[in-house]
Amino acid sequence: MATVTVAAAPWKQLLLSALESNSHRKHSSYFQLATVGSSGRPSNRTVVFRGFADNTDNILINTDARTRKIEELKHCPFAEICWYFTDTWEQFRINGRVDVIDESNPDPVKIQQREKSWFASSVRSRMQYLGPNPGLPSLSDQPSPGFVLDPSSGPVASFCLLVLDPDQVDYLNLKSNQRMCFTSRQSANGSKCWNSERVNP
């Protein structure tokens, strides 16, 4: 099938439809995020979809700045999402560059974006950033002591926002046995355009 070029991201509507069709499944808001470690080995984990950045196709992910994925993304800023929707049998593999927005980021727009994502999270979710350093040996068999968090206070130092800017999307629908590949390119005016092509499943 011939390649079709459009300015808007055609895969985004497919993803929004899949999210809506699978919204009754709690796990539909979880996907896998794969990064590349400094050793060159792949590293994968499950994260929560926090929506799209305003007026963009960029995918938001909240994480702890102390986790290994931050070090990996600073070493290699490219990552891939794999997202499978169990009711509609749809898979999205979304590849792109990840912007790490932590407390040291000097950009006021990004600082505001980080704060917005912080306050959009539940207080319970925010509390996890007050715990011990993730991945380090646990020094006690006892549960962590209770922490107090002022719901009106801004992001804590360990809170980090990841923004994945997609440049390739591989979409597979196992019910219809159709597969589409979407690839972005920069247009003459600097905006992003998408090429779409149907390929064999």
Rounded to whole angstroms, the Cα distance separating 44 from 93 reads 13
Residue 91 burial (C-beta neighbours within 10 Å; 0-12, 13-18, 19+): middle
Written out in words, the top-level CATH class of the domain with range 4-132+153-199 is mainly beta
pLDDT at 49: 98
Q: Within its chain, how far is the Cα of 189 from the centroid?
A: 27
Predicted model pTM? 0.90
pLDDT at 91: 98
For residues 90 and 96, the answer to whether their CB atoms sit within 8 Å is: no
Rounded to whole angstroms, the Cα distance separating 117 from 162 reads 10
Tens-of-pLDDT digits for all 201 residues of the chain?
A: 456 556 679 999 999 999 999 999 999 999 999 999 989 999 999 999 999 999 899 999 999 999 999 999 999 999 999 999 999 999 999 999 999 999 999 999 999 999 999 999 999 999 999 988 888 887 776 555 667 788 888 999 999 999 999 999 999 999 999 999 999 998 888 889 999 999 999
Structure-block tokens of residue 61? 């992910």
Residue 183 burial (C-beta neighbours within 10 Å; 0-12, 13-18, 19+): middle
Rounded to whole angstroms, the Cα distance separating 52 from 200 reads 29
Extents of the domains making up the chain: 4-132+153-199
pLDDT at 136: 81
- Is the Cα dihedral 67, 69, 73, 79 positive or negative? negative
DSSP designation for 28: G
